Amino acid sequence: MNTSAGRSVDADSGQPFVEALEIAAGGWVFSARVAGPADGRPVLLLHGFPQTSASWTAQLLALARAGHRAVAFDQRGYSAGARPPQESAYGRDALVGDVLAVLDALGVDRVDLVGHDWGGALAWQVAGLHPERLRTLTVVSTPHPKALASAVRDETSGQRDRSAYIHLFRTRGTAEERLLADDAAYLRAAFATLPSESAERYLAVLREPGALTAALNWYRAIDPRTLREIGEIDTPTLYVWSDRDTAFGRAGAEATAAAVAGPYRFEEITGVDHWVPENGAQALNTALLAHLAEFADA
């Protein structure tokens, strides 16, 4: 695995640390974080809305300590060097293309892919459309798209109410104004259970010119027809869901098993909200490392 960031392991203590790097891929420049030995088995982590690769810090370090080469990048719209203004530039094919381009830029043929929230939705797409690029799949919080759609249609599941915020996010102009009003009170409320320094880090990115609109364009470019184009998931899959997630309910989480044809494991984390990589780090790290170890020869 080739990156410009070296080994990301302290030569004296032998302990891993997270290092910043830039990845030129697909005509864009993505800001990224990397940890672990350069010759470690590669793991790529995809963040969600409205966060950045910083949300994966605990996982980057845990993976590095286990000998993996872990990379998380600020995705399209979140990296200043990959922020096209057109709403159409945030469709499924462009986002999947970014993942493949980053892998190519890193010299990685097959990877262990991990995604949370929107990163999880994207990870499902990559696994369905390009299974040849994956060793394993780990999705955090986000049900398989077909399972989520089924839950939304089920009036008894409560998922329609949980997903109601998407209507706001898809409303051009109004969403930006609402989310940033009163010193970003809406976003601060969403981040209430995170450390204040984490919230400030994410807000600083979203306040960059064009960044919030770009992040919201992920929602505005949704094409429901792409749900029917996802291939069967044969990749060994770990799906992690937390029981206090206000965005994704139990119905979609439990229905996800039916969408995976290959080896599948469902891990429920209790007492944790939507921000699993940070607020449920220990449980997630344990499950993730066990999954990678189980399929070490994949």
Asked if the structure places residue 105 within a domain, the reply is yes
Phi, psi (degrees; rounded to nearest 5) at 108: -105, 125
Q: Rounded to the nearest 5 degrees, what angle is found at the Cα of 34, between the Cα atoms of 29 and 38?
A: 110
Q: Angle 242-43-48 (CA atoms, 0-180°, nearest 5)?
A: 45
Q: Which of 267, 10, 8, 222 is nearest to 121 (CA)?
A: 222
Residue 156 resides in a domain? yes
Q: Which pLDDT belongs to residue 8?
A: 62
User: Does 259 map to a domain?
Assistant: yes
DSSP β-ladder status, 42-46 and 19-25 = unpaired
CA 163 – CA 41 distance, rounded (Å): 36
- Hey, how many other C-beta atoms are within 10 angstroms of the C-beta on 86? 11
- Which amino acid, 162? R
What is d(CA 154, CA 265) in angstroms, rounded to the nearest whole number? 24
Residue with tokens 């010299």: 107
In this structure, are residues 46 and 71 in contact, taking their beta carbons and an 8 Å threshold?
Answer: no
At residue 30, φ and ψ (nearest 5 deg) are: -105, 130
* Structural domain containing residue 266: 19-294
Question: What's the total number of domains in the chain?
Answer: 1
CATH number of the domain that 237 lies in? 3.40.50.1820
Domain annotation covers residue 10: no
pTM recorded for the entire structure: 0.95
Residue 3 lies in a domain: no
Q: pLDDT tens string for the chain (298 positions)? A: 444 444 565 545 556 789 999 999 999 999 999 999 999 999 999 999 999 999 999 999 999 999 999 999 999 999 999 999 999 999 999 999 999 999 999 999 999 999 999 999 999 999 999 999 999 999 999 999 999 999 999 999 999 999 999 999 999 999 999 999 999 999 999 999 999 999 999 999 999 999 999 999 999 999 988 877 887 899 999 999 999 999 999 999 999 999 999 999 999 999 999 999 999 999 999 999 999 999 999 9
Neighbours of 114 (CB within 10 A): 30
Query: Residue 236: inside a domain, yes or no?
Result: yes
So what's the pLDDT on residue 15?
A: 67
The verdict on residue 1 lying in a domain is no
Cβ 70 vs Cβ 36: under 8 Å = yes
| Residue 7 belongs to a domain | no
The pair of structure tokens assigned to 16 is: 């891993």
SS (H, E, C) the chain: CCCCCCCCECCCCCCECCEEEEEEECCEEEEEEEECCCCCCEEEEECCCCCCHHHHHHHHHHHHHCCCEEEEECCCCCCCCCCCCCHHHHCHHHHHHHHHHHHHHHCCCCEEEEEECHHHHHHHHHHHHCHHHEEEEEEECCCCHHHHHHHHHCCCCCHHHHCCHHHHHCCCCHHHHHHHHHHHHHHHHHCCCCCHHHHHHHHHHHCCCCHHHHHHHHHHCCCHHHHHHCCCECCCEEEEEECCCCCCCHHHHHHHHHHECCCEEEEEECCCCCCHHHHCHHHHHHHHHHHHHHCCCC
